[in-house]
Structure 1
Amino acid sequence: MANPVLIAKAAAMVLSNEKIRKGVGWIVVAILSPIFVFVAILCGMLSGAANHNNSALDLCFHGGEIAEDVPEDYREHIKAMRDSFAVIDGIVNELNAKMENGDSLDPIQIKAVFYSLYFGADQPSAVDSRKFADCFVTFEERTRTVTTEDGTTKEETYTIPVPIKDLSVVYQNINTALGITATYEDMANATEIYYRIAYGTATPLEDDSTTGWEGWKYQLSEEELENLYHDLPAGENGSEIVKLAMSRLGDPYSQEKRGQGSYTDCSYLTMWCYKQFGISLPGTAAEQGRYCFNNSLTIAKEDLLPGDLVFWSHKPNGRFMNITHVGIYAGDGKVIDASYSKGVVVYRDLFDSDKQVLYGRPLVKE
């Protein structure tokens, strides 16, 4: 795991030296909180300093000369990480050569997870790289027909590695094989590193990407609104939360511009609604889910009331419970949410029941 003393030293050094801040800033942010990582990437992209922010990770992932200004302890950690990466690359190539049907492991993903878990460790080279790489595959026994030297055929059994697609299973394997329990921050950092190296961008914080649902609306008639409000429990704060959310129907979606004018994203919509009642929610869907969980504000799905929060996980992102989206329950099986996929705030059926992972009632904590 990352060394907190090393983090503190690096942070102090980076803040005091502009040249070094550009050179090693990404090593620091990659082992800090996921929100800080995202903000650092975003600021770098907006300021035109993305190349500088990439440089430190590139030293580990792509090689190159390490600047003389980089402190000796960081220099040694970069070298150790490079050595470990070389071993991992060899093992991945070996596993990929044994795979069938076009399957293959993504070496960037494996190294991003390794970096997140072991950068700053005293001896990452001492980690059993074979065991680590094997955490990303499952081994299947198959049969095939082979021709012997005398021209006859026979069936033989062989074993091949098959990539594991579910990262949650990979992290469970790492815990079992190596005794390392990855935190949500570790997972989020690995995801950020992967996107930065593989795509040169930051991973999306939130996303409701889904298919197979119909009937979404961004405008309701006066009659529809009247019927909705009529069915809300009178005098309940949850009902007022729903009305506030409905007042934002059709507002444009933007993670970057949220809070500017009418722009919002899913977590800003919920945060804005609850703020009117003096309740301060964190700034992302995953952290709002963590807030509800840590403060015993979760409820069962069958207990949902208007104004409650619904959380989805549409894809692994390493954040709390892999939460990627949040909406406000409107009653009668409906939800109001700022939709990434539709680009506006919508009122729709409570979609993707198989991806709903948590339900919360922050109004209890007033």
Structure 2
Amino acid sequence: MNIPIHDSVPAEYSSHIVSMRESFETLDTIIQAINNETESGQSLDSVQVKSVFYSLYFGAAQPSAAASKKFADCFVTYEERTKTETNDDGKTSESTYTVAVPIKDLSKVYQNIASVMGRSASYEDMSNATEIYYRIAYGQPAPKEDDSVDGWEGWAYQPKAEELANLYHNLPTGELGIEVVKMAMTRLGDPYSQEKRGQGSYVDCSYLTMWCYKQLGIIIPGTASEQGRFCVNNGLTIAKKDLVPGDLVFWSHKPNGRFMNITHVGVYAEGGKVIDASFSKGVVVYRNLFDFDKQVLYGRPHIKK
């Protein structure tokens, strides 16, 4: 049952809500039909479909029922499969049937939507859809910083031209880089938590890097994306080939609508190693520099005066 729209809601906004509700009813019917074609319990996630739909179409012209079917089909692939049946006379025969297989990689879903619907999602659209999904499905905000792919296997952030301008500088190595690494090493094994970061020994990726630098009298922002922006704005970015201990490595594992869609940061520790507060591992770890195709920026704030 739909919750009544309060009289205080502006008429135009109210009409958008009504339109979206009607579209959701259409989508529910379409999703149920698609799920009737799935196998092995691999049902299409209706919350995810409607979250993406809401992000792309709220306040805009709603697709027709036929177009809504095309939209929902962007979340699945259809496969022809064969099954063997035994007839009444004891003989066997083969028949083919169609199975709907949900697509797990959201980057592929958005590619399909752009191709089929002619609606290219911005990084903000994708981020909003993820935020809506988490709040409805889990009752909590979507994580903004972590090192897990989590449904974005094919995601590869493409920096804009203005972001690429003046990113790489031939900077001095500084004297504090090794000290940054030493500080990071003291936190190895500390537990990961975005919600509890700074409480007791809890850290997340950006709190770890901020804490390490703060111990040496260098103040950097408190989120991974803003640390990346800080490095860019202050001419503290370098090329990957120039990494030295204490430098920061930034990743974009999924769209989050922030600067360069940066979702993770760690401290480079020489020899192809990195120290980072890992969401996927649950603690601060020392490991090989990972996900080379997801690395989008490198910074050297330890030379900041």
Does the TM-score normalized on the shorter chain lie above 0.5?
yes
Report matched runs for 1:344-355 at 5 Å. 346-350=284-288, 353-354=290-291
1:185 is aligned to 124
CA drift of 1:349 comes to: 2.1
2:300 is aligned to 363
Query: Are the aligned partners of 2:246 and 2:268 in contact in 1 as well (CA < 8 Å)?
Result: yes
Query: Are the aligned partners of 1:298 and 1:359 in contact in 2 as well (CA < 8 Å)?
Result: no
- Superimposed CA distance per residue, residues 300-354 of structure 1 (whole angstroms, 9 cap, x where no aligned partner): 4x6532123334567x56557875432101113432223446665x352226x35
| Distance (Å, rounded) in 2 between the aligned partners of 1:74 and 1:317 | 27
2:53 is aligned to 114
User: Whose helix proportion is higher, 1 or 2?
Assistant: 1
Name which of 306, 313, 329 aligns with 2:268.
329
Query: Are the aligned partners of 2:188 and 2:286 in contact in 1 as well (CA < 8 Å)?
Result: no
1:67 is aligned to 6
CA drift of 1:170 comes to: 0.4
SS at match of 1:241: helix
Query: Are the aligned partners of 1:258 and 1:268 in contact in 2 as well (CA < 8 Å)?
Result: yes
Size of the alignment, in residue pairs?
277
SS at match of 2:269: strand
SS at match of 1:138: strand
SS at match of 1:360: strand
1:78 is aligned to 17
Query: Are the aligned partners of 2:208 and 2:276 in contact in 1 as well (CA < 8 Å)?
Result: yes
Unaligned runs of 5+ in 1: 1-61, 211-232
- Superimposed CA distance per residue, residues 110-141 of structure 1 (whole angstroms, 9 cap, x where no aligned partner): 001101111121x2244810111010001111
| Distance (Å, rounded) in 1 between the aligned partners of 2:85 and 2:63 | 40
Amino acid paired to 1:185: E
Query: Are the aligned partners of 1:292 and 1:298 in contact in 2 as well (CA < 8 Å)?
Result: no
Amino acid paired to 1:350: N
| Distance (Å, rounded) in 2 between the aligned partners of 1:169 and 1:185 | 17
CA drift of 1:82 comes to: 0.5
Report matched runs for 1:267-282 at 5 Å. 267-273=206-212, 280-281=220-221
Report matched runs for 1:1-366 at 5 Å. 63-121=2-60, 123-126=61-64, 128-146=67-85, 153-208=92-147, 235-246=174-185, 248-249=187-188, 253-259=192-198, 264-273=203-212, 280-281=220-221, 283-286=222-225, 288=227, 297=237, 299-300=239-240, 303-311=242-250, 316=254, 318=256, 324-340=263-279, 346-350=284-288, 353-354=290-291, 357-358=294-295, 360-363=297-300
Q: Which piece of structure 1 moves more, 262-271 or 97-106? A: 262-271
Which is bigger in relative contact order (C-alpha 8 A, separation at least 6)? 2
Amino acid paired to 1:135: C
TM-score by length of 1: 0.63
CA drift of 1:162 comes to: 0.7
The percentage of counterpart residues that share the same residue type is 60
CA shift in 2, pair 1:354/1:177, >3 Å? same
| Distance (Å, rounded) in 2 between the aligned partners of 1:291 and 1:260 | 25
CA drift of 1:71 comes to: 1.2
CA shift in 2, pair 1:252/1:115, >3 Å? same
CA shift in 2, pair 1:116/1:313, >3 Å? same
Unaligned runs of 5+ in 2: 150-171
| Distance (Å, rounded) in 1 between the aligned partners of 2:76 and 2:202 | 42
| Distance (Å, rounded) in 2 between the aligned partners of 1:108 and 1:177 | 21
- Superimposed CA distance per residue, residues 253-309 of structure 1 (whole angstroms, 9 cap, x where no aligned partner): 44234456765321122244457676745x433565677789894644x65321233
Amino acid paired to 2:7: E
CA drift of 1:174 comes to: 0.7
| Distance (Å, rounded) in 1 between the aligned partners of 2:288 and 2:99 | 42
SS at match of 1:361: strand
CA shift in 2, pair 1:175/1:350, >3 Å? same
